[in-house]
A and B are shown apart, each in its own frame.
Chain A
Amino acid sequence: MLNTLWLIPITPFAGFLLNGLFGKRAGKGFVTAVALAASLGAALLGTVAVFQYTALYEHGQRHVDVAYQWFSSGGIGTDIAFQLDPLSIVMLMVVTWVGFLIHLYSAGYMAHEEGYWRYFAYLNLFLAAMLILILGSSYLFLFVGWEGVGLCSYLLIGFYYQTDYAPAAGKKAFIVNRIGDFGFLIAMFLMFGWFGSVDYAKVSQIAAAGGIEPSILTAICLLLFLGACGKSAQIPLYVWLPDAMAGPTPVSALIHAATMVTAGVYMVARSNALYRLSPTAMLVVAVTGALTALFAATIGVRQWDIKKVLAYSTVSQLGFMFIGVGVGAFTAGVFHLITHAFFKACLFLGSGAVIHGLHGEQDISKMGGLRKYMPSTAWTFAIATVAITGVLPISGFFSKDEILAQALNTSAFKFLTFTPDPTGPKLGFLGPLIYVVGTITAGLTSFYMWRCYLLTFHGEYRGPTDVHPHESPGVMTIPLWVLAALSVVALVIVLPIHDFAWSWEHFTEGLFAHPRGGAPAEHLPAVVTFGIAVVIAWAGFAVAWSLYKPARNIAGDAAFERAVPRVRRALVEKLYVDDAYEWLFVKPLWRLARGLWRVFDAAIIDGVFVNGSAQLVAAVGALARRFQNGNVQRYAAVTAMGVAALVYLLLVRT
């Protein structure tokens, strides 16, 4: 298996081809069988490869399997090559198994959709592209998967293509991501130019050996991060993700929560050798992450669409992951990626079950009391909410707290100054500041998630009477329970017990040169940060409970509205960011295009030069025509004048 790693992405790709070409005529049974077999096959093959890898290799080593040379020219050669190392392995396991669960769930959720075959074809294609992304052994091959998942995201967001909003949202996602890809491309050019390669190992090796100018490393890191901002929805490129909720809910769970959107975090973690050499880039990553986390959580407080709440929550949680990798806590950042994949997939699928049970209703103001009708969904949603908010110490609590503790204690910014002058004011305060921002965000997270849970599942049912809420079939609830269980047990590998054989830190040993951003407990002992985290989480819960407790529920919203009317409006309007982009970038660009066309192409080039020169020729012709009017006397006169001129020139002048 290790020498045929390409089989892993090929399996779902084969599923895509089968369903894409024959699915429409072959019927639902065929489509379901092919799609589930393809995703399960990828998961099983991946698992086999992982066992073989662990039997053969020490921690941190990478196994490379070259399929063939893709293209080469001049000094540039690139292979189609796959690799396994601990980072690829965890991504592989999360992507394939969560992917399979969501395929399974989709078989129930999408059962009545017209484009059933199309949906599963896209979903399998996504899985193939995502596997290329995480198994590729070079930035270029990462980019192949990167663009592939972007394409699938585009197709799946626009799945309901007969609407106006869904294709528009898909297009927005693709174009915003392309802005990030622009950075990614230039970063690769810099790597080719300075390292001569984009292979992970070679790049890390050359960077670690030194001799590359810091400004170049910083440029590479920042450009890569621009790509990450696009894919992982960070400021300023996060705007596509909330709109992406136009796609079917399982897609939101798989692509826009658990797997694809974490690709940016994966890339930064993958490039840790580069980032560690560029404190400036680390700073940008951490600050962007912190700002995004806070910003998105703030907007999430006032969303009414259950999927939008989760979307902003995803943006916010991705911000946490970037704080992690930005302060040098690569291990913790990637661990949060894993736990988030479990609980956020569970939350999204739970919201899908709610929407399914209410025949398409997404507005939480029309829900309420659903605990009675769909107990499995309510329970799993509650467990995942506990995990994300951290009111009880299960997986999400530990991964988030680890990130914040590392931010507080990080040494990454201690020696950075505002100016190139090393004696200037130090940025050592930045770590604690990020810690404070992150902690406030954690409080907000707890608030909006419990608000969402309480308004959806507690109180009285507020929807129309002709809709009868019902629990989903087993094919949908089983994945929910599995993901809820994973959200709980994932804590095992991150328990803050060092030297524990199964621990995450142990597993990734050797992968990140410095797994932790700072010495543990340099400022505050772990117990204190744990304590603060628990208090904050409960504080968020307490506020949510006081406003939306079952007895009062939706009525509590009026109190919120009265308290901060203007803020409320701004939050509902998503803080006007989309409008600002529209006015600043989108409209001027289209105006520029139309203006250039009318003025430059049509009026100047064609009008003045092309048609102008034609008119000039016509005018000259019209003038010349006057001499040739058949009047013999005039011909004679002109001839005489000509002869006189010649005589003058030849005889008189010489």
Chain B
Amino acid sequence: MGFEGGGLLSLVIFLPLAGAIVVLFLPRGEGGMHKGVALITSIVTFLFSLPLWLRFRPTARGWQFEQKADWAPSLGFGYHVGLDGIALLLVMLTTFLAPIAILSSWKYVQDRVKEYSLALLVLETAMIGTLAALDLVLFYVFWEAMLIPMYLLIGLWGSDRRIYAAVKFFLFTFVGSVLMLIAIFWLWSNSGRLGGARTFDYGAVAQLTGSLPLETQRWLFWAFALAFAIKVPIWPLHTWLPDAHTEAPASGSIILAGVMLKMGTFGFVRYAMPLFPHAALEAAPAIGALGVTGIVYGSLMCMAQTDMKRLIAYSSVAHLGFVMLGLSALSAEAVNGAVLQMVNHGVSTGALFLLIGYLYERTHTRDLAAYGGLAKVTPALAAVFVVVTLSSIGLPGTNGFIGEFLILLGTFIAPMGTWTIFGGQVSKGVLLSVVAATGVILGAVYMLWLVQRVFFGPLRKAATHGLADLTFREWLCVAPLLCAILVIGVYPMPFLAASLLPANDLIARVRPRAAAVPRPQGARLFLPPGASR
């Protein structure tokens, strides 16, 4: 347990918290200093997380960078952290986005800078901790710890309706978490059954839950799933998201969209699905259908918006619908695609919120009607926005394409069984995939509409103030995101490789006998041969 192993991971988890403590002792009023400490801390955290990425062995089984220490052994919980490939990707995403988020609202946030810096740093520790925790209590503590700083970010530094948005955000996510807490306690009280003391340890609990009867699993699964579904958010639990995003400052939106929503999907991958495999398998088509509904519905919502941030918030509902579809399809392609899509969404939607933050700082309005023709005055901003848009609509060569393609393909060939529709049997995977693919069309509709309204056409009101193009600081924020978009799009293998093993493990656990899904007669047209694998 040296610095090489779990020590490094723990360092990455708690570095931001250490930075927060430093900020705490800095005298109030030295605004730049607080933000400076926050920025430097997040950059150092990112640098320390790089060895995690470099030393990670995608072909090795089990947790890596694992660290275990007793905390309250009599109660059965301890400090236990470690990473698999999926968690690693999301940790990297977090440490990558955090400095960008802090730098993004550098000018915008001018009051209560100390609290603001504190909130962001505490949030980062909570997010990384949530991903790394291998003990249910530890996980829950980090999970809830994310809530408070985000609540403050929206409620204190948000725009006009910030209080409504913050309370809504808090209540939605908190209600879900309470059910999960009850389920966690149930697991603890039953964990003695296998012999040995009662424990909250993930590995031990996982051993117990796999063999629970379906009836029990179902209750526990939905208790966990509800908490995660609200966080994702899965339709129809999504209405807190547009409000939260619209009111939050750019940094809050970047963190929220970039990382926090992924905590929901990560929860499905790490907890809800593998802990309760029978219930997860049973619920998979329903969750896939909700995901597809989210794709189509979210895209339609985007078309109805006149507020830029609200539009992008609804596009998150659509993109996260893709992720949920991929996870529920439970084929290697789809799960890999879903994991990559989590990263993609963090990068591209993070970038979109960043750019809209820039626009807002210049014009102080998010109303689409006030924009138009900006490409004339801010050509670089327009060009960057178009590239990010292309990533968001999944153009080949950008990261978005790989994720969406793998999800749709993996769902199409997934052995999910059939639905009877109008007397004929239709493969669930094929139907879900085809309906989801219309999201590819709708995505182009709303994103290109947005681009046209903001950047093309004659110059209109807000733009006539002689806006400045991207500044050096702004380039500094957006350039790493652009690089990530193109690198993942052109050479995605390292990113896919990280999730190969955990994805296979998940599938093996939830759907151990793929061939067991009966291949019905008369459904051959819509059942590809892969369906009988």
The answer to whether residues A164 and B168 also contact, given A182-B437, A593-B300, A596-B301 and a CB cut-off of 8 A, is: no
CB–CB A163/B434 < 8 A: no
Which chain A residues border B448 with CB–CB below 8 Å?
154, 171, 174-175
CB–CB B452/A73 < 8 A: no
B60 contacts partner chain A, Cβ-Cβ < 8 Å: no
Which candidate, B100-108, B210-218, B390-398, is the interface stretch facing chain A?
Answer: B390-398
CB–CB B440/A178 < 8 A: yes
Closest to B527 in A: A193
Knowing that A72-B493, A162-B458, A182-B440 are A-B contacts, what are 6 other residue pairs whose CB atoms are under 8 Å apart, sorted by A's residue number?
A: A73-B500, A76-B406, A178-B441, A182-B441, A189-B408, A193-B531
Residues 125-180 of A contacting B (Cβ, < 8 Å): 143-144, 147-148, 151, 154, 158, 161-164, 166-168, 171, 174-175, 178-179
CB–CB B529/A194 < 8 A: yes
CB–CB A186/B437 < 8 A: yes
CB–CB B409/A162 < 8 A: no
Pick 9 A–B contacts, CB within 8 A, sort by A. A69-B493, A71-B493, A75-B530, A162-B375, A162-B456, A175-B448, A216-B525, A596-B304, A601-B301
Q: How far apart sit A154 and B395, CA to CA, in the bound complex (Å)?
A: 13
Which chain A residues border B492 with CB–CB below 8 Å?
70-71
Query: From residue B250, how far is it (CB to closest CB) to chain A in Å?
Result: 24
Pick the contact of A148: B336, B337, B396, B452 (CB < 8 A). Answer: B396
Which chain A residues border B77 with CB–CB below 8 Å?
none
Pick the contact of B304: A168, A188, A194, A594 (CB < 8 A). Answer: A594
Contact with B along A64-94 (1 / 0, CB 8 A): 0000111111111000000000000000000
Pick the contact of A167: B390, B457, B491, B530 (CB < 8 A). Answer: B457
Which chain A residues border B409 with CB–CB below 8 Å?
76, 188-189, 192
CB–CB A147/B395 < 8 A: yes
A654 contacts partner chain B, Cβ-Cβ < 8 Å: no
Query: From residue B183, how far is it (CB to closest CB) to chain A in Å?
Result: 22
Which chain B residues border A590 with CB–CB below 8 Å?
303-304
Residues 69-84 of B contacting A (Cβ, < 8 Å): none
A215 contacts partner chain B, Cβ-Cβ < 8 Å: yes
Q: Please, how many residues of chain A have a CB less than 8 angstroms from a CB on the other chain?
A: 56
B135 contacts partner chain A, Cβ-Cβ < 8 Å: no
Which chain A residues border B500 with CB–CB below 8 Å?
73
CB–CB B444/A174 < 8 A: yes
CB–CB B458/A164 < 8 A: yes
Q: How far apart sit A603 and B97, CA to CA, in the bound complex (Å)?
A: 35
The answer to whether residues A167 and B456 also contact, given A162-B373, A178-B444 and a CB cut-off of 8 A, is: yes
A185 contacts partner chain B, Cβ-Cβ < 8 Å: yes
Which chain A residues border B445 with CB–CB below 8 Å?
175, 589
Q: How far apart sit A601 and B304, CA to CA, in the bound complex (Å)?
A: 11
Residues 430-457 of A contacting B (Cβ, < 8 Å): none
B528 contacts partner chain A, Cβ-Cβ < 8 Å: yes
B410 contacts partner chain A, Cβ-Cβ < 8 Å: yes
Q: How far apart sit A636 and B181, CA to CA, in the bound complex (Å)?
A: 38
The answer to whether residues A175 and B441 also contact, given A71-B402, A158-B456 and a CB cut-off of 8 A, is: yes
Query: From residue A625, how far is it (CB to closest CB) to chain B in Å?
Result: 20
Closest to A114 in B: B376
B124 contacts partner chain A, Cβ-Cβ < 8 Å: no
A579 contacts partner chain B, Cβ-Cβ < 8 Å: no
Which chain A residues border B438 with CB–CB below 8 Å?
182
Q: How far apart sit A606 and B240, CA to CA, in the bound complex (Å)?
A: 9
Closest to A219 in B: B525
Which chain A residues border B236 with CB–CB below 8 Å?
605
CB–CB B496/A73 < 8 A: yes
Query: From residue A568, how far is it (CB to closest CB) to chain B in Å?
Result: 33
CB–CB A606/B373 < 8 A: no
CB–CB A151/B395 < 8 A: yes
CB–CB B239/A181 < 8 A: no
Which chain A residues border B272 with CB–CB below 8 Å?
none
B157 contacts partner chain A, Cβ-Cβ < 8 Å: no
Which chain A residues border B224 with CB–CB below 8 Å?
none
CB–CB B528/A193 < 8 A: yes
Number of A-B contacts (CB under 8 A): 151
CB–CB A164/B332 < 8 A: no
Query: From residue B529, how far is it (CB to closest CB) to chain A in Å?
Result: 6
Query: From residue A260, how far is it (CB to closest CB) to chain B in Å?
Result: 16
Pick the contact of B412: A174, A189, A592, A605 (CB < 8 A). Answer: A189
CB–CB A161/B456 < 8 A: yes
Which chain A residues border B455 with CB–CB below 8 Å?
161
Which chain B residues border A499 with CB–CB below 8 Å?
none
Q: How far apart sit A194 and B236, CA to CA, in the bound complex (Å)?
A: 35
Q: Please, how many residues of chain B have a CB less than 8 angstroms from a CB on the other chain?
A: 61
CB–CB A596/B441 < 8 A: no
The answer to whether residues A171 and B449 also contact, given A182-B440, A193-B530, A597-B304 and a CB cut-off of 8 A, is: yes
B352 contacts partner chain A, Cβ-Cβ < 8 Å: no
Which chain B residues border A593 with CB–CB below 8 Å?
300-304
The answer to whether residues A144 and B529 also contact, given A71-B402, A192-B409, A601-B239 and a CB cut-off of 8 A, is: no
Give me the 3 closest cross-chain CB pairs, A-B, nearest first: A193-B528, A74-B332, A167-B456
Which chain B residues border A74 with CB–CB below 8 Å?
331-333, 336, 410
Q: How far apart sit A166 and B375, CA to CA, in the bound complex (Å)?
A: 14
Residues 167-225 of A contacting B (Cβ, < 8 Å): 167-168, 171, 174-175, 178-179, 181-182, 185-186, 188-190, 192-194, 196, 213, 215-216, 219
Which chain A residues border B305 with CB–CB below 8 Å?
597
CB–CB B332/A213 < 8 A: no
CB–CB A179/B396 < 8 A: no
Q: How far apart sit A598 and B405, CA to CA, in the bound complex (Å)?
A: 32
A559 contacts partner chain B, Cβ-Cβ < 8 Å: no
Which chain B residues border A194 with CB–CB below 8 Å?
528-529
Which chain B residues border A188 with CB–CB below 8 Å?
409
Q: How far apart sit A605 and B493, CA to CA, in the bound complex (Å)?
A: 41
Which chain A residues border B297 with CB–CB below 8 Å?
596
CB–CB A144/B336 < 8 A: no
Which chain A residues border B303 with CB–CB below 8 Å?
589-590, 593-594
Residues 234-251 of B contacting A (Cβ, < 8 Å): 236, 239-240
Pick the contact of B300: A76, A213, A596 (CB < 8 A). Answer: A596
Closest to B444 in A: A178
A641 contacts partner chain B, Cβ-Cβ < 8 Å: no
Which chain A residues border B406 with CB–CB below 8 Å?
71, 73, 76
Contact with A along B454-465 (1 / 0, CB 8 A): 011111000000
Pick from A75, A166, A178, A219 the residue with the most CB of B within 10 Å. A178
Query: From residue B220, how far is it (CB to closest CB) to chain A in Å?
Result: 24
A610 contacts partner chain B, Cβ-Cβ < 8 Å: yes
Which chain A residues border B531 with CB–CB below 8 Å?
193
Residues 385-425 of B contacting A (Cβ, < 8 Å): 390, 395-397, 401-402, 405-406, 408-410, 412-413
Pick the contact of A75: B332, B390, B402, B457 (CB < 8 A). Answer: B332
Q: How far apart sit A590 and B300, CA to CA, in the bound complex (Å)?
A: 8
CB–CB A185/B333 < 8 A: no
Pick from A71, A144, A151, A154 the residue with the most CB of B within 10 Å. A71
Which chain A residues border B529 with CB–CB below 8 Å?
193-194
Q: How far apart sit A68 and B459, CA to CA, in the bound complex (Å)?
A: 45
B45 contacts partner chain A, Cβ-Cβ < 8 Å: no
CB–CB A185/B437 < 8 A: yes
Closest to A129 in B: B397
B524 contacts partner chain A, Cβ-Cβ < 8 Å: yes
Query: From residue A217, how far is it (CB to closest CB) to chain B in Å?
Result: 11
Which chain B residues border A185 with CB–CB below 8 Å?
405, 408, 437, 440
Which chain A residues border B402 with CB–CB below 8 Å?
71
B433 contacts partner chain A, Cβ-Cβ < 8 Å: yes
Residues 82-128 of A contacting B (Cβ, < 8 Å): none
Q: How far apart sit A71 and B402, CA to CA, in the bound complex (Å)?
A: 8
CB–CB B397/A186 < 8 A: no
The answer to whether residues A189 and B239 also contact, given A175-B441, A601-B301, A610-B168 and a CB cut-off of 8 A, is: no
Which chain B residues border A163 with CB–CB below 8 Å?
457-458
Closest to A617 in B: B171
Which chain B residues border A154 with CB–CB below 8 Å?
448
Q: How far apart sit A181 and B437, CA to CA, in the bound complex (Å)?
A: 10
Q: How far apart sit A68 and B491, CA to CA, in the bound complex (Å)?
A: 9
